[in-house]
Each structure stands twice: as structure tokens, then as C-alpha cells.
A and B are shown apart, each in its own frame.
Chain A
Amino acid sequence: MSTNLFACFLLEMTTPNKTPPGADPKQLERTGTVREIGSQAVWSLSSCKPGFGVDQLRDDNLETYWQSDGSQPHLVNIQFRRKTTVKTLCIYADYKSDESYTPSKISVRVGNNFHNLQEIRQLELVEPSGWIHVPLTDPHKKPIRTFMIQIAVLANHQNGRDTHMRQIKVYTPVEESSIGKFPRCTTIDFMMYRSIR
């Protein structure tokens, strides 16, 4: 905390375009187009304060958070058992409660393992308060397929050292359960005949 105290004095002067909050990922899930697959992955952190670790990062509770306890960059590693299609990453950050712990510069990297990670996305956050949707797509705008995702917090607001992240969710596109490579049908009349259950 003490390291971040100095940063607090600079609070008033930062009011450029704030990062707008995205939609609640639960709504995305309801549409049936995406599915959370974080539970199938192995999560690890570069460092954490005891009691503020992966469990808190993944507990679906916006009140709890992961707090790093080490030097930057702070890393979140998400490793899948098999090559997995990933469409979107959702991160919850709240500047109002976390202040100088709020990340301001995030890099997202993907790869097969720790040694061949490639950055696919870097984003700047300005006083975010809510969900941040990070689409993970290749240059052709197709969802990427990967074994591993690494989220690196490169900087915090007001030069804060340690960081807070409240939730991270990983989404995969849902394949249509019907046969034929058609997009989703939209009426129930049609959908009823789509499959046997």
C-alpha cells in the first residue's frame, strides 16, 4: 500500500477518455454464442499476496481480487490441456475501488508454452470500471487456437507497483449443435427440429 500512496496525489489530474465498461459476460453466455472455458484450464500467477490468488480471481465474485506481490510485469498464465479455440477474454477492473492498483497497460500473449509466447494484443486502460472485453482474433478476424494465454500487467495507474484483478473469464465460441455448417437458426420453429435430445 505504501508504495502506491504517492501515486494517490496525482489522482485528480487524470481525466482523459475513460475506458468504457463492456457488457456483463453473463449476458454473452446467455446468448449461447460463447462458453466460459476457464475452468478447463490451469491457472498460475507470477506472484500473489496470500489469500488473494487464483481462487479469488476465478470465484465469480467481484468483491474479491487477485493482488500481486512482486515485481512487474505481473503475469496470469492460463494453460489448456489441448489446443483450444478462444474468442474473447473478459477482465474486470474497478478503478474506483482499486485506484493505483488498477492496471493501465495490459498485454495479452498466446503460444504453445512459456517459451514461444507472442503478443497479440496490447491495450491501454484509462480508469476502467467494469468488464473489459478483449477479442482474441488472428489477423483474419478468426478466433485463435492456442494452448496458452498469458496476460501481463505492464503498468498500473499512477505508477502503482502491485496490481489488482478482480475477475478474468475466457470464452470460446460455441459451435452450432446442429449439423451442417450453417449459422445458428433464429426461430424456435426451426430450432426444434435441429436435434434430438
Chain B
Amino acid sequence: MTVLQEPVQAAIWQALNHYAYRDAVFLAERLYAEVHSEEALFLLATCYYRSGKAYKAYRLLKGHSCTTPQCKYLLAKCCVDLSKLAEGEQILSGGVLNKQKSHDDIVTEFGDSACFTLSLLGHVYCKTDRLAKGSECYQKSLSLNPFLWSPFESLCEIGEKPDPDQTFKLTSLQNFSSCLPNTCTTLVSNHNISHRQPDSVLMETPQDTIELNRLNLESSNSKYPSLNTDSSMSYIDSAVISPDAVPLGSGSAILSKQAQNKPKTGRSLLGGPAALSPLTPSFGILPLETPSPGDGSYLQNYTNSSSVIDVPSTGAPSKKAVTRISQAGTKSVFSQSGNSREVTPILVAQTQSSGPQTSTTPQVLSPTIAAPPNALPRRSSRLFTSDSSTTKENSKKLKMKFPPKIPNRKTKSKTNKGGITQPNINDTLEITKLDSSIISEGKISTVAPQIQAFTLQKAAAEGLMSLLRDMGKGYLALCSYNCKEAINILSHLPSHHYNTGWVLCQIGRAYFELAEYMQAERIFSEVRRIENYRVEGMEIYSTTLWHLQKDVALSVLSKDLTDMDKNSPEAWCAAGNCFSLQREHDIAIKFFQRAIQVDPNYAYAYTLLGHEFVLTEELDKALACFRNAIRVNPRHYNAWYGLGMIYYKQEKFSLAEMHFQKALDINPQSSVLLCHIGVVQHALKKSEKALDTLNKAINIDPKNPLCKFHRASVLFANEKYKSALQELEELKQIVPKESLVYFLIGKVYKKLGQTHLALMNFSWAMDLDPKGANNQIKEAIDKRYLPDDEEPITQEEQINECYPYESVGTDESQESSMTDADDTQLHAVESDEF
């Protein structure tokens, strides 16, 4: 039976790999009906999940007891997707009844996939407001697998400050050093075949060098007396190469693995149909051809290393080429290490990106049905290591005696796409460097050849790590709102990484938080140009355009986004912003509500909805919205700001100050927030404090005109007219066309008794006003609309009063003031007529 089911499984995986989910589901259903094993159950659930039907997978798995970790993980994943967090947590860490599993228990239970499990668990904890536990989980997950980014991101978002230098380094990963040699050995085992294969493509890409090194490695490996049992190999290698590395598990575990492997190879010999299409997972073919390495460890390599290190290798290059390259490498200068750092990440990233499509290939390699339960780590490994696929394919290709055309092409295209032409030298350089360093340790000078291959891979991984470190630093800075630092760090990324949607979006967001909307718009429009399919971050872009009042660009953006993805909250936020700018608040509210419907965990949509309700003066609803936003994400400072704003409107100034302060604690660099706090403090009659706050704000962002304006108005209110005037004169330099500035200057002059200058400034204020807002200033001049409600008489009356005094002056001034006064009155009359 088990033998028979292998071709079916292969067919299912093939269908999955070709996104033919209906076929995969159908076949998996048939298979499950036939055998009813947990393996088949898992396969069926996977098919459901991959076809986007998490609820199906959930109910299926729920209806059957799941014992294997991979089933448990999938079930938990479904639970989280369906926001059944408690259930998900119970599955992962044991419920209230059972003893809660410690992280170590989880690691032992889930083996290599523990990093993903912990990350998921961390997500659950954070969603249920247990941030401390959540961050523990994330950190553990990262320490297990530093290639994971999302736990790091989540850590930053919940306000933790993980150290990127500590997080993204290989030594922090205990398995890693041990898994690296494993990959080498596997490749070695493949290599025998690759030699035989005449058709293999000769390319002088860096991959070749790698392959070459692998060849070297292989030859040296053959020296080992253990006859290529991987487990022993890995054990030795790990011990040799990284003295600090803990050997993989206990010896017994290794032994058991070996034991499991043996029967498997036999079975796959029977079951592996060699005629399967080349794209299918190698499906037991591999052990057929190379019986020596047990596939368990083979798989494990991939899991541990997440195979990011295995660069897809195309064909076996001739040794000549290799040596030449390596020679060149040694000659080149070490000082170029910065360069090499830039290059290596490509390799890695490339492999990573190619991963997901073929992620499941390893599945078929190990017919695990008969395997004893402690084979878990291996199995789970094939599930979760998506990146191994490419190498898998290659290896499989190599194993099979006929050169399969499709995979060949595929791999080739992949490598070409990466655009890696220069790195050969750098890579080798890196290797040699590493080599020498290792040798200098005096431990393993004899094993240099293998180590060269190993170090090559390690260099690639190291390169990725350094990239992740830089990005991590940038992201961390952004999440703690050190926006300038974030921009600085991210701008120094290598240009091919800089010019990607993710990086540019983060930079755009940093500019956005700095209120440098022009810059932000520039960056985001670049993002739109290079990745017009990008949705994440576009809500920030839309708000940027809202601030800049670019209605055309905003409506183009919102149309495009809503056409592209109606299920993303970002698109609806953009649409809402678009209508908000058109002042069609009711429609905007509908769209923001839709954004919330689409994703109830999207904090920004609540905030935007809240702002919209504030504009329509439905303050109760707005309060609820902002509170919801904070519930979803307590570090969403915009919502705290919104609350403060509402309290300010309700003249509950101390509450307003408190909420603004909360927002400021999250984003201490925001001059706009500081400015608001200053105004509130002034309203609370703490003028000295207000001035301090405003000074701080001006220090942070000297370009923020509103801070200066408010400082001037506070000075004005405190009757420090001279300094207010000076402030306003400076302000005039920054925003020469803002009528409000002239308006305030006019008021100061009026206080100083210089009515002529006052009237002149008032008339300028009105001249600068485009017709829309005109009324308000007219009203302000017309009526008692002054910031300090201390003037009982309307301004118009005052102007009239002042007029007689003015007439004493020179004829010129009299004339001008007359016209001004007339003007004012005229406008006032107009405004009355409406």
C-alpha cells in the first residue's frame, strides 16, 4: 500500500507545485480515502491550506487527532488564520489542563520547524496581549533560525529592541554550523553523478565555483571511513569546524535516524518511478541512485540550514575553471571585503526567493509512513524548509541519468536572473579569507578543501546575515521612530537592495513620520514605478498625498489599488483618503469601514476612520475608533494623537495633554506632536512650559513653520510683542505665502499701536488667501475671532476706531490705510452676503 501511494503523492505534489490546487485537492482526497493515514491527512490538509481554504484544513485536522508535529503546526496555523487564537495556543503549547510546554519542549517536539512554531506562538501571545511571552518566543525563534525576518519585525513592532547584531549572526544558531557541513556532504554525494552527467551545463557563474568546491569537498570526504553515513559526517564536521557548536542532538538520535533511513532507502528503491516528469519532486529516486547517504540526514541538512546557503548549482563545471577562479580570488585584494559583502547576499536572496514554489519537493524523498514517531524532526523539516527545493531539483536532476530538460532550463534561468556575474571573485575571496581565519585557529588546517566549500557557503550566509543586520538596524530605528537614523542606515544598503519596494517603503515611511512629505512622496512614487504591484505601505503614500493635497495623484493611486486588490485594507484606506481630500466624508467613512471589514486587525484603518468621524464631528464614534486602533496596536501613536485631539476639541486640556504625551512617548521625535503639546500647555496656562516644548520642537525640526507660529502666538498672548514679531519675521522667510503669518503680524502691530502696519499686514493676509479660505480670515478680521478672547470689541470696529488716529499721520499712510480699511469693510460686507 505504502509503495503504491508514492506515485499518488508525487502527483499531488506535482500538482501543488504547479498551482493546480483543484487537482491536488482531488487527488489528496482520493489518497486519504484510500489509506487514511496521518501522512495522507496531512497532505490533504496541506492541499486545502495552500488553495487558500484554511477553514477546510482546520476542520479536517480538527476532526482527526493530530499527533505529528507537522499536522499540529498546520492546525495551529489554520487556527491563527481563522483567529482562533486560544485554540492555536493550546495546540502549540498545551492548554490549561495540560502543563504548559516550555520553549525547550517545543524545540524538542517540533525539531527543525521549532523556529516557525515559536514564531507562530509568539504571534498568538502578542495578539492576546502577552507581549513579554511573545517576545520571548520571537527571540527564541530567531536564535534557532536567524534567517527569519518576520519575528524580528514583530519584535520591533511591539516595541522591543532586539539587537540586530546579536540576532542576525550565524554563531547564534547552534544548529547552523553543524548543518552547514551536512549540506556539503549531501552535495558531495550528488556529485558522483554530476561527474557522470555529460550534458551538464558549463557556466562560469559563481555557482560553478561553489559546485567546484563541492567537488573538492567530495573527494576529500571520501577519505572518511564512515562510508558517507551522513550523520557521522555531520557530527565530525560540526565538531571540526565550529569548536563552539553543540553536536547535533545526542548520538543516539543520530543512530536512530540512521536506522530509520535504512528501510527507507530500500522502499524508495522499490517505489521510485524513474519515469516521473523531471519537475516532480524527486520522489524517492534519489535514494535509488545514491543509496549511501540516508535521506534523513539529507533532508535535515536542508531544514537546519534552511538551505539558503545552497546556491542553485547548475551542472558540474570543469575543475580547470574552478582553479582559475580561485586563483584570481586569492590575488584580489582583501580590502574589498565590503564589496564582497554586497555581492554574496544576492546569491542567498535569490535562492530564497526561488524557494516557495518548489518547497515541498523533499516530501517525496522520504517515505515516512512506516517510519517510527521519532522521525519527526526530519519530516517536519521537509515541510517547512522551502528553500531547499532548488538544490533538491538539481541533485535529483543529477541523480537521474537522463538530463531532464525542464529543470535544467529552470535552474539556469534562475541563476541568470539573479544577475550575478561579478561575485565569483569576491566569493572566493571571502572564502579564502575565512579559510585563513579558520586555519589560523590552528584546528583544522588539514581539512582545508572541504572547509573551502563550507566557508564558501558560510560566506554566502554570512553575507545575508550582514545584510539582514543592516536592514534590521534600519527597521529597528524606524520602529523606535529614529527616522533620520533609519533613513541613513537604509540609504546605505547596496543599491540593488535599496531599489526594492520594501526598503524604499521603509524610507518613505521614515520621511513621512518626519513630516517631510515631499521626500516621502518622491520615494513612494519611485516604489510605484519599480513595484507597481506593491500594496504594503501604500496607505502611507496615500496619506502623504492627502497631506500634500495632490488629489489627482491620490485618485489615480486609489483607483489602481482598489482595482488590483479589493481584499487589502491599504487599497481601501487609499480610497478613503481620496474621498476625504475631496471632503466627501460620508463616502470616505464607508471606505475606511470597508478597510476594517477586510482586515479587522489593521490599526491604521481605525485611525483614519476616527479622523473622518472627527471631521464630521461625530466625536463619540471617533473616540471608539481610536480606542479600537490602540486595542489592535498599542504602539500606534496616531491613534493616541487622535484621542488627544478629540479631548482638545472638547476643551479637556489635561486629558488632551496626557494623550499627546502618550503619543510622544512612542514617537519622541515628532515635532508636530510636540507642537500640539505646546499649544495644549498654553491652553492650560502653562505658558513657560509651552514655550519650552515649542523650543524643543523647533530644535527637532527647524523647518516646521507651525511650531514657530505657535511660539509666536504664545509670545503674543504673553504680551511679548517684540519677540513675537521677530519670530514671525523669521517665519515669513520660511513660508512667505502663508496669510496666517501676516494675519498674526497684523495683530501684533495692532497691539503695538502701529495701526498702519497692522492694516497693511491684514490686507496682505487677505490678498494671499485663495478664495476658499478667504471667508475665515475675513470673518476673523471682521469679528472677534482672536486666539485670546480678550478683545471684546470686534476688529472691524477697532479698525474704524483706529482710523481717526491714523489720519493724523502722513498723507501717504493715511491713504493706504484708508484703502485698507475700506477693503476690510468691503470684504466684510461681501462675506455677509455670502
Contact = CB atoms under 8 A, between A and B. Distances in A.
A30 B582 contact: yes
Residues of B contacting A: mostly: helix
B583 A197 contact: no
Nearest to A137: B832
A183 B735 contact: no
Interface stretch (A31-39, A63-71, A105-113, A156-164): A31-39
B517 A197 contact: no
B737 A39 contact: no
B630 to A, nearest CB: 14
Contacts of A193: 515, 671-672, 675, 704-707
B773 A189 contact: no
Contacts of A142: 783
A135 B582 contact: no
B585 A35 contact: yes
B160 interface: no
Given A192-B547, A193-B672, A183 B706 contact: no
Contacts of B526: none
Contacts of B673: 196
B616 interface: yes
B549 interface: yes
A189 B611 contact: no
A110 to B, nearest CB: 17
A84 to B, nearest CB: 9
Nearest to B675: A193
Contacts of B645: 177, 179, 195
- Size category, A interface: 35 or more
B285 to A, nearest CB: 58
Contact of A190 (B706, B713, B782, B834): B706
Given A32-B772, A191-B549, A196-B670, A88 B834 contact: yes
A195 B779 contact: no
B524 to A, nearest CB: 15
A185 B672 CA distance: 15
A133 B834 contact: yes
Interface string A167-193: 000001011111111111111111111
B583 A196 contact: no
Interface in B455-503: none
B772 A189 contact: no
- Interface SS of chain A: loop
A59 interface: no
A141 interface: yes
B300 interface: no
Contact of B616 (A31, A35, A140, A186): A35
A88 B775 CA distance: 14
B832 A186 contact: no
A29 to B, nearest CB: 6
Contacts of A135: 832, 834
Contacts of B607: 197
A178 B707 CA distance: 12
Interface in B632-678: 637-638, 641, 645, 648-649, 663, 670-673, 675-676
Candidate in B641, B673, B706, B769 with the most chain A CB atoms within 10 angstroms: B706
By size class, the interface of chain B is 35 or more
Given A183-B780, A189-B735, A33 B614 contact: no
Contacts of A88: 834
Contact of A187 (B676, B738, B743, B777): B738
B354 interface: no
Residue of A31, A188, A197 with highest tally of chain B CB at under 10 A: A197
Given A30-B583, A31-B773, A180-B679, A196 B615 contact: no
B10 to A, nearest CB: 53
Nearest to B768: A186
B776 A190 contact: no
B608 interface: yes
Interface in B689-737: 704-707, 709-710, 713, 734-735, 737
Contacts of B549: 188, 191
Contacts of A195: 645, 672
A194 interface: yes
B501 to A, nearest CB: 23
Nearest to B546: A197
A98 to B, nearest CB: 24
B616 to A, nearest CB: 7
Contacts of A39: 586
B95 interface: no
B680 interface: yes
Interface in B744-787: 768-773, 775-777, 779-780, 782-783, 785-787
Given A185-B773, A195-B645, 14 more contacts: A31-B771, A32-B583, A33-B773, A88-B834, A141-B783, A182-B713, A184-B776, A186-B773, A193-B706, A196-B637, A196-B670, A197-B547, A197-B608, A197-B611
* Nearest 8 Cβ contacts at the A-B interface: A31-B772, A183-B776, A193-B706, A184-B773, A183-B780, A187-B738, A186-B739, A190-B738
Interface of B: 515, 517, 543, 546-549, 582-586, 607-608, 611, 614-617, 637-638, 641, 645, 648-649, 663, 670-673, 675-676, 679-680, 704-707, 709-710, 713, 734-735, 737-740, 743, 768-773, 775-777, 779-780, 782-783, 785-787, 789, 832, 834
Interface of A: 29-33, 35, 39, 88, 133, 135, 140-142, 172, 174-197
6 contacts: A33-B776, A180-B787, A186-B738, A187-B735, A193-B672, A193-B706
